Chains A and B, each alone.
Chain A
Amino acid sequence: MAWTTPAATGPLDYPNRRYGHDHDRYAWSMLTDRPPLSWPQGRGLALFVVVPLQFFPLNPQGKPLKVPGNMVMPYPDLRHYTLRDYGNRVGIHRLLKALDAASVVPTFAVNTRLFEREPLLCEQIVGRGNEIMAHSWSMDTVHAGGLDEAAERELVQRSVGRLRELTGQPVRGWLSPGKLNSPNTPDLIAAAGIDYFCDWVNDELPYRWNTASGALWSMPLSTEISDTFVLVDNLHSEESWADQVCDAADLLHAEAAEQGGRILTLTLTPWLLGQPHRMKHLERVLSHVTGLGGVWSASGAQILDAAKPQIPAP
């Protein structure tokens, strides 16, 4: 499926100046113009927690480009390799303990290569029964412009297919490393049987995409309150991250009471948030959010399945 967004022939040529968006991948719609959504048991705020389980190779190729978090020192970058690995050895278990204590359900976004390399971790995560979504092959397989279409098709099929084998789950969700896409990513993941992806931060509710393989859904997953954005990119304190999440939760919770179901979307990264000095701030967030009342902690697919029948066909 083409993007139908032709290039301008000069600085004063505007070939895509028309009603709606400047491409045809999804329809223009303001959130408040849509029918209000409701969540099971009349709850107003869904809580969608994504926990990425990532593998950063020691020898990244960086093609077509490198996303943040990868090796940066001369080879071998023990410093960053092991610090990322910390998340899969220590941080994840600490996060899960806190989530379980708060009865908050994680959705795991998994680099397939990690589960291939680490059967123990795979077994432990699969055994929990939480939803597992695809997160490409590794943090060094970036889906961005410049990636050859055939190579990307193979990469998507290998990542999704092998993850299904390893986990025995249908694997309906997709998160691209660095939330980047090539022009073909939405088509290729839809062709691999993916129902929803979390790469586009342009909405706070699920909405439909058009792809060559039919419908694909975009699920919201905020970058702006993700732990990596707040703590690593912005260098805010842990306390500020917790304040920001609590403020977001309060606003969405109040809005849900007036305007229909809302979703608070959190990305909790084991190699970052799972450090000892950050845990109490996560615990404050979990306690605040679950204490709001009427909060539905659910996986990406559960939230999407609840929303879909309420969203009119185009």
Chain B
Amino acid sequence: MSNTVSASKEALDYYRPWPWDRRPKITWPNNARIAFWVAPNIEVYELNPPANAFRTPWPYPFPAVPGYSIRDYGNRVGHMRQMRVLDKYGVRGSISLSSALIDHHPEIIELCRERNWEFFSHGIYNTRYTYGLSEAQEKALIQDSIDSIRKATGEAPVGYLAPALSHSELTVDLWAEAGGTYTCDLFHDDQPTPVKVRSGKPFVSIPYSLELNDTIAYVVNKIEPRRYGQMIKDAFDRLYAEGAESGTVMCIPTHNYQVSTPHRLKAFEEALEYITGHPDVWVTTGREIADHYLKHHYAAAQASIETLNNATHRSAR
């Protein structure tokens, strides 16, 4: 089934209500209060993408110079600049990768591999949407991206962020069935949460903040660079304080054509310096957070969610 309106549902059923203040305590390695990760989106956009009935890739006829060229800038210029800053503050990126970049720009893949960065899947091109794909087609897209990343890096990815945040009702299920353990496509929480998937396997959502995503901040919300830097610090302060009670997660999703431009990098760098200057921060990757959570907290979380929701149902009767 493609995602047609007639098949639409009133609400998502990936997860159940679970009050922030009634959860089992999360602990991170070395008693850190917060798990901090940076997710650089390293993307390829096509100059001549196929038409999609649900979403138009470019606002101008071929060649869409403004949109294509600034994204190309990200790979030609911005990547190296962002990587140097992440190196400086000891942050290993967790790359949200358009897997076609392995073919187009393998130099970037090699630089990230040398640094032991995590690669997770962001589809094949950011101009190829999930919208309108059949289940078999979406499954093929996902498998293609997994196979490409495994071949290039020696390891299959376990995390997924759907290309251009385009989803079907089955995206998360298909990712879990293809061997994935976590998704970045749900923005409902500041801690990892169990996600119910079709196969019933253990699977989690890892917080990936849209509010702190540089493209959302700069392009959608039109935030000034210095304010963006301040927003990151303010978010950290709150999550770090709350993390004294139970571990929190903070993610900065970036794009090499946004955060790495000369007028914006300083704000990002100052925020990284601030965050990594605190003692109880686990500077980590999406995969390490998912692994730790699945191993140490997933079972207790499931039990807590069951108990709280069943108690509610009993009292309602």
A residues adjacent to B (C-beta < 8 A): 3, 5-8, 10-14, 16-23, 28-33, 64-65, 144-146, 178-181, 183, 199-204, 222-225, 233-237, 240, 243-245, 247-252, 264
Which of B9-17, B260-268, B281-289, B295-303 lies at the binding interface? Answer: B260-268
Among B68, B80, B261, contact of A30 (Cβ-Cβ < 8 Å) = B80
Among A14, A145, A222, contact of B62 (Cβ-Cβ < 8 Å) = A145
> Is B133 an interface position by the 8 A CB rule?
yes
Contact with A along B163-207 (1 / 0, CB 8 A): 000000000000000000000000000000000000000000000
**What's the Cα separation between A16 and B263 when bound, in Å?**
33
Q: Is the CB of A202 within 8 A of B124?
A: no
**What's the Cα separation between A179 and B47 when bound, in Å?**
16
**What's the Cα separation between A244 and B261 when bound, in Å?**
10
**What's the Cα separation between A251 and B264 when bound, in Å?**
10
Q: Is the CB of A17 within 8 A of B104?
A: yes
How near does chain B come to A201, taking the closest CB pair, in angstroms? 5
Q: Is the CB of A179 within 8 A of B66?
A: yes
**What's the Cα separation between A200 and B221 when bound, in Å?**
24
Closest CB pairs A-B (n = 8): A145-B61, A248-B262, A202-B72, A248-B263, A244-B263, A202-B69, A8-B50, A234-B222
Q: A7-B50, A11-B137, A22-B104 are in contact. Are A181 and B63 (CB under 8 A)?
A: yes
Q: Is the CB of B263 within 8 A of A224?
A: yes
Q: A14-B124, A248-B263 are in contact. Are A201 and B66 (CB under 8 A)?
A: yes
Q: Is the CB of B222 within 8 A of A235?
A: yes
**What's the Cα separation between A264 and B62 when bound, in Å?**
29
> Is B241 an interface position by the 8 A CB rule?
no
Q: A14-B125, A144-B60, A245-B263 are in contact. Are A181 and B65 (CB under 8 A)?
A: yes
CB-defined contacts of B72 to chain A, threshold 8 Å? 21, 200, 202
> Is B117 an interface position by the 8 A CB rule?
no
Q: Is the CB of B63 within 8 A of A204?
A: no
Q: Is the CB of B73 within 8 A of A201?
A: yes
The winner among A7, A16, A236 for most chain B CB atoms within 10 A is A16
Q: Is the CB of B262 within 8 A of A251?
A: yes
CB-defined contacts of A11 to chain B, threshold 8 Å? 50, 52, 128, 132-133, 137, 141
CB-defined contacts of B106 to chain A, threshold 8 Å? 19
Q: A11-B128, A14-B100, A244-B263 are in contact. Are A144 and B73 (CB under 8 A)?
A: no
Chain B stretch 93-118: residues in CB contact (< 8 A) with chain A: 100, 103-108
CB-defined contacts of A32 to chain B, threshold 8 Å? 80
CB-defined contacts of A7 to chain B, threshold 8 Å? 48, 50
How near does chain B come to A12, taking the closest CB pair, in angstroms? 6
Q: A14-B100, A30-B107, A251-B262 are in contact. Are A183 and B63 (CB under 8 A)?
A: yes
CB-defined contacts of A6 to chain B, threshold 8 Å? 48
Q: A11-B133, A22-B47 are in contact. Are A223 and B66 (CB under 8 A)?
A: yes
> Is B224 an interface position by the 8 A CB rule?
yes
Among B62, B66, B107, B262, contact of A33 (Cβ-Cβ < 8 Å) = B107
Q: A30-B79, A145-B61, A200-B65 are in contact. Are A247 and B70 (CB under 8 A)?
A: no
How near does chain B come to A244, taking the closest CB pair, in angstroms? 4
Q: A145-B60, A223-B66 are in contact. Are A10 and B50 (CB under 8 A)?
A: yes
Chain B stretch 105-152: residues in CB contact (< 8 A) with chain A: 105-108, 124-125, 128, 132-133, 137, 140-141, 144
Q: Is the CB of B47 within 8 A of A23?
A: yes
Q: A3-B63, A33-B107, A183-B62 are in contact. Are A251 and B224 (CB under 8 A)?
A: no
CB-defined contacts of B50 to chain A, threshold 8 Å? 7-8, 10-11, 13
**What's the Cα separation between A244 and B115 when bound, in Å?**
31
> Is B25 an interface position by the 8 A CB rule?
no
Among A16, A19, A146, A178, contact of B61 (Cβ-Cβ < 8 Å) = A146
Q: List 29 A-B contacts (CB under 8 A).
A: A5-B48, A11-B50, A13-B50, A14-B100, A14-B124, A16-B47, A17-B104, A17-B124, A22-B46, A22-B48, A23-B48, A28-B105, A29-B76, A30-B76, A31-B76, A33-B107, A183-B63, A200-B65, A202-B72, A222-B261, A224-B263, A225-B262, A234-B224, A243-B226, A247-B263, A247-B266, A248-B261, A251-B262, A251-B263
Number of interface residues of B (CB under 8 A): 50
Chain B stretch 49-99: residues in CB contact (< 8 A) with chain A: 49-50, 52, 60-63, 65-66, 68-70, 72-73, 75-77, 79-80
**What's the Cα separation between A33 and B73 when bound, in Å?**
14
Chain B stretch 207-256: residues in CB contact (< 8 A) with chain A: 222, 224-226
Q: Is the CB of A203 within 8 A of B66?
A: no
Q: Is the CB of B137 within 8 A of A12?
A: yes
Closest A residue, CB atoms, query B68: A202
Closest A residue, CB atoms, query B103: A17
Q: Is the CB of A3 within 8 A of B70?
A: no
How near does chain A come to B217, taking the closest CB pair, in angstroms? 11
Q: A11-B137, A30-B79, A223-B70 are in contact. Are A18 and B104 (CB under 8 A)?
A: yes
Q: A14-B100, A17-B103 are in contact. Are A144 and B61 (CB under 8 A)?
A: yes
Q: Is the CB of A251 within 8 A of B46?
A: no
How near does chain A come to B162, taking the closest CB pair, in angstroms? 14
CB-defined contacts of A13 to chain B, threshold 8 Å? 50
Among B47, B66, B69, B79, contact of A5 (Cβ-Cβ < 8 Å) = B47
CB-defined contacts of B262 to chain A, threshold 8 Å? 204, 225, 247-249, 251-252, 264
**What's the Cα separation between A10 and B132 when bound, in Å?**
12
Closest A residue, CB atoms, query B111: A30
Q: Is the CB of B60 within 8 A of A12?
A: no
Among B52, B100, B128, B224, contact of A244 (Cβ-Cβ < 8 Å) = B224
Closest B residue, CB atoms, query A204: B77
